[in-house]
Amino acid sequence: MISSPYLLCLGIGWVKRKILVLDLDETLIHSHHDGVLRPTVRPGTPPDFILKVVIDKHPVRFFVHKRPHVDFFLEVVSQWYELVVFTASMEIYGSAVADKLDNSRSILKRRYYRQHCTLELGSYIKDLSVVHSDLSSIVILDNSPGAYRSHPDNAIPIKSWFSDPSDTALLNLLPMLDALRFTADVRSVLSRNLHQHRLW
């Protein structure tokens, strides 16, 4: 684990360590809860873990499925970036999911939830300036374009994941994330419409 806020980029000097903001639902995991009549996961597919949370004084069980390769992905990118969770979900749920994904590795320490989003036209917008004032060093990975509407030049979209066991989207992003950490301003790369292409 690299603890220094700076990374040595050979040939061009020091480059500040960047922040990778990660969405949870349909980006890193998919879940459904008790009472869902038609869960999107194939019948008989066991969840990776079950969360029991109390919402409005009612106990609710969430059956959580991890996107393929998510554990390896987090292990690798945590060595390159400071990782931040930013979800539009309620904190009681999002915190429990993040704890499971972190798995006592202390790589998902900073977290933002629904109360940190801005509600606009019925959708939750994630303001990246809440995470850090320097937007040149922040990348957001999210399956919902509406979530990063305020910062499209900081975004890497990813296809929504529900149950496909052969999905490789997270693995496919590693080369780009590896290169992006050495740029002076991530927006100079991400604003070139590269994020409109199919990256999965």
**Residues identified as active-site:** 23, 25
On whether the CB atoms of residues 131 and 10 are closer than 8 A, the answer is no
Residue 198's alpha-carbon distances to 128, 172, 182, 189, 194, in angstroms, are: 24, 10, 22, 16, 9
* CA dist., res. 157 & res. 160, Å (int): 9
Residues near 47 by beta carbon (within 8 Å), at least 6 away in sequence:
31, 41, 63, 64, 65
Identify which of 88, 70, 72 has the alpha carbon closest to the alpha carbon of residue 158: 70
CA 28 to chain centre: 6
Burial class (CB in 10 A: 0-12, 13-18, 19+), 42: exposed
For 22, list phi and psi in degrees, rounded to 5.
-115, 130
The Cα–Cα gap between 155 and 142 comes to: 7
